[in-house]
Structures are given as structure tokens and as C-alpha cells.
Amino acid sequence: MRATDAPPMIPLPQLAQMAGGDLLVREVPKHPSAREAFLREGVEGASIDSRTIRPGELFVPLAGRNTDGHRFLEEAFTRGAAAALCDRLAYPAWRGREPGPLVLVEDVTAALQRLANRHRRSWQGLLLAVTGSSGKTTTKNLVAAVLETRAPVLKTEGNRNNHWGVPLTLLALRAEHQAAVVELAMSGAGEIAALAAIAGPQAGLITNVGRAHLGGPGLGSAAAIAREKAALGFALAPGEPLFVGDGPLLRAALGKARCRVIRFGFSRAAEVRPSRIEDLGPDGSRFEVEGFPPIHLRLIGRHQVMNALAALAVAREVRLDPEAVTAALAAARPVAGRMEVRTLRGAVLLVDYYNANPESTRAALGTLAGWPGRRRIAVLGEMLELGTQAARLHREVGAAVRGAELWAVGPHAPDTAAGAKRAGLRVRVFADKAALAVALEAALEPGTVVLLKASRGAALEDVLAPIQEA
């Protein structure tokens, strides 16, 4: 089933052992050569979705709120799964009609994590884990892009950054990868330490500490969030590098860590910092960093310079070719929904509704304020997961709007509006996204610049859909 004749990354018998389960196959061939061929079969990667599983992968049936992955075992094998994990309690339903090799385990998630950790430990390359309140995905992509200038790199795909995503990422490691850049996210205390224990990084990167996930359990303050991120530093061995976006909170939280902290940022205290920064507006930024040719980054906004500095810090540490690194950064383009620049009906849209928290919203508002245009509109939707501080933080963000009108939508729109009104700005509050879409359509014309910013869950893309279709 696999594309090559090379041995699979994880042969079936090892798979069971590594996952801490029992391999169950309908029959093992008796003839010695057939038996040998059978035992050479194995899995290459893993998937939790039977609809998108690729031939040769391990199917991991998770029990979710709405459905139980075990219902899709048959479909997974039909699409080419080489084996599947199976909860012992779910197994009786399949006894006697197993659709393929099953590994019976007590707890599918724990088995997935254990398997991924063993697989990662059998791999020899450099694993760098990336965490932080915002900019993880962008930074992860930039770091992977610069490392790719030397050798093949595995990086987290999409947002596979939690207790399922991280192990799935690790299971995609192959012998040819010389480095891996793995995103670790958190929504509650203790998660970074747990994910780091699975990933076993030899290097870490913390982009920044902001107030994302303030509503998460045990994360009531920025200092608590800083301590949580700092757990990545404590997961490293003494002397292993931890790249850190410069800032006082992280400095305090990392006080006792024994890893080697390398700071990047705009302050004098940062070891990797830019000089001669030129804001090129729609064309990104140009800046210089010691040891590299002048850098032209086409990602927009000052916060992206910060993300590029992270990649430069890594590049310097592992001694990549400076010319190649500069070229890789110049070739970087935004990820969909993260400060993409589009034009619609002659107006410029700054599409940044992939995610939002107070810090990333301020960064986006700063970009909007500096954008050339006759009329600027900040369309701000809900920032989610801010717990009891949500109202105050929405007011704060409203007050941070500069040189633009504020159009607010979502449950906290009145708070955002209150903040902006106090700052004397023109403000509109919309009852829903449909009403906003109607007003926006009328406002789109050459000279208008619109920022669209909200948390992913607010689905602000719904505002554009009717306009684009019309």
C-alpha cells in the first residue's frame, strides 16, 4: 500500500508495543516468507479523520462530543489505513469482523501520545517547539522556512497544536527530516509542560506573552500565562537554547530555568534586534540584523518583524547561510486569514480574522492606522476566551483604535464601542454580521481601507461571503 519499498517508519509489531497495546490481526500468514512480509508491514503517519486518511496511515478513532471515531473504523480501512488504534471497551462491537489490524488500548488519546513520543525518540534530528500567545503559526512557518534552506524540515500543519495535534505532527516525522518545528498551544495551566513532555524538544521558542486565553483554567493573569509559557524553558536540558521574544514578564518567569535564553526583539537587551527599520506599508518592512544581508519582509506590520527576528535568532544559532536565510524570509507570504491584503470593489481589505486577542488586535490596528487611504474602517468582532475580563479588554481595544472609524459587532460590541467613543472616534455598532455586510458593501470603494479582525470562533468571514457572491 505504501508508495515506496523502503521499510515503514513503524512496523506493526513495534506499533503495538510503542502504543502500549495489543496487536490484533485476523490472521498472521503461516508460510515463513509471507509471514516475514506481513511483519514488515507498518504505518507511516496517523490521522484522526477517516474522510481524509491517506493510504498507509494509522487511524486513531477519538471519542468526541458528537460522535465516536470507532464508528468509522471500516471506512478508514477502506481508504487505506494500515492499522487502527481501538479502545478495548469499543472492541466487542468489532469482534470477529475486524476490518484490519487493530491495536487494542486502554485509552486512545494516551496511546497516541505514547506512540508519538516513542516515535519521536527514535528520530535523530533537532526538534524545536514553538509556543506563545500570538504569532506561533507565523513564526513556526518562518523558522521552518529558514531551516529548510539547509535540509528537509517537518512542521506542524494547520493548527495541529494540542494534545492530539502535537502527537499527530510527531508521527509524521521521517528519517529524511533533519529538523522539526512543532507548535504547542495551551488553553489551560499545565498544558505546555504536558505537550513538551510528548514532543521532547531540544530547543524552544516563546514568541510573546499576551492576554489570550485569560479565561482558561488557572490562567487568570498575564504573569500566570508567562509562567505557563516558561514551562517550555524548564522542559529543556541545561544549556539548550530557548529563543524568547523580549519582555519583562517572560524574563521574570524564566528566572530559574537552566536552558540558554536567547532574546530577540526591539529593545537594547535583545541579542537579535533590528536596525534601520523601514515600514513599507503594503510592501511589508525592510530592516537590518547583524550578520545578515538587509532583509525585506513582505509580511505586513511591525509584529511580523518580531516573528522574523525569531527566525533569524534560530538561523544564527544553527549557523545557516545568511544569504539563503534572507532569501527565504523575502519569499514568505501570509497564511490565509492572517493579515492578508485583498482588494474588493477597489477598496483594500486587511483580512485578519483568523484570530484575535488584545495584543494582536492592537498590532493590527497599528497597521491599519499607518495604511494609506482616505477612509479607514476597523471592523472588530468578538475576542473570545477572555473570561471575566472580556468587557474591560474589549473597551481597551476600542480605545486603541487610531485614525479610523470603528465598526463593532458581536456580544461585546457595546464595550468596544464605549472605548472608542471615549477616544472621540466615529463608531457604529451592528446587531449582527448580516447588517454589517450590508453597510460594508456600501462603503467599499477606492480609497477605503478596511481591517477585519476577530477570533476564529466569531467567523467574521461571513461578512465578506455575501459581498463576494453578489
The binding site for ligand ATP (CB under 6 A) comprises: 134-138, 159, 161, 185, 207-208, 303, 306-307, 338-339, 352, 354-355, 359-360, 363-364
Q: Is 360 annotated as a binding residue?
A: no
State which residue, 354 or 371, has the beta carbon closest to ligand ATP.
354
Cα(257)–Cα(412) distance, integer angstroms: 39
DSSP calls for 312-375: HHHHHHTT--HHHHHHHHHT--PPTTSSEEEEETTEEEEEETT---HHHHHHHHHHHHTS--SE
Smallest gap from residue 348 Cβ to ligand ATP (A): 16
State which residue, 303 or 376, has the beta carbon closest to ligand ATP.
303
Q: Please compute, for residue 110, the number of CA atoms within 13 A of its CA located in the half-sphere on the CB side.
A: 7
Smallest gap from residue 155 Cβ to ligand ATP (A): 12
209 contact choice in Mg ion, ligand ATP, none (CB below 5 to 8 Å, kind-dependent): none
Residues 6+ apart with CB under 8 A from 314: 128, 143, 146, 147, 203, 205, 243
| Residue 154 parent element (H or E) | strand 153-155
Smallest gap from residue 140 Cβ to Mg ion (A): 7
Which residue's entry shows cell 481524509? 52
Smallest gap from residue 208 Cβ to ligand ATP (A): 5
Site string for Mg ion, 156-175 (x = CB under 5 A): ---x----------------
73 contact choice in ligand ATP, Mg ion, none (CB below 5 to 8 Å, kind-dependent): none
407 contact choice in Mg ion, ligand ATP, none (CB below 5 to 8 Å, kind-dependent): none
For residue 141, report the phi and psi dihedrals to the nearest 5 degrees.
-65, -40
> Binding of Mg ion at residue 455 (CB under 5 A)?
no
364 contact choice in ligand ATP, Mg ion, none (CB below 5 to 8 Å, kind-dependent): ligand ATP
| CB distance 301 to 363 below 8 Å | yes
State which residue, 137 or 360, has the beta carbon closest to Mg ion.
137
> Binding Mg ion by CB under 5 A: which of 137, 138, 207, 361?
137
Cα(462)–Cα(443) distance, integer angstroms: 17
The CA-to-CA distance between both ends of the chain, in Å, stands at 46
Smallest gap from residue 271 Cβ to ligand ATP (A): 17
| CB distance 170 to 199 below 8 Å | yes
User: What secondary structure letter does DSSP report for 305?
Assistant: H
User: Could you give the C-alpha distances from 308 to 139, 267, 313, in angstroms and in order?
Assistant: 7, 15, 9
184 contact choice in ligand ATP, Mg ion, none (CB below 5 to 8 Å, kind-dependent): none
Smallest gap from residue 243 Cβ to ligand ATP (A): 13
Interacting residues toward Mg ion by CB under 5 A: 136-137, 159
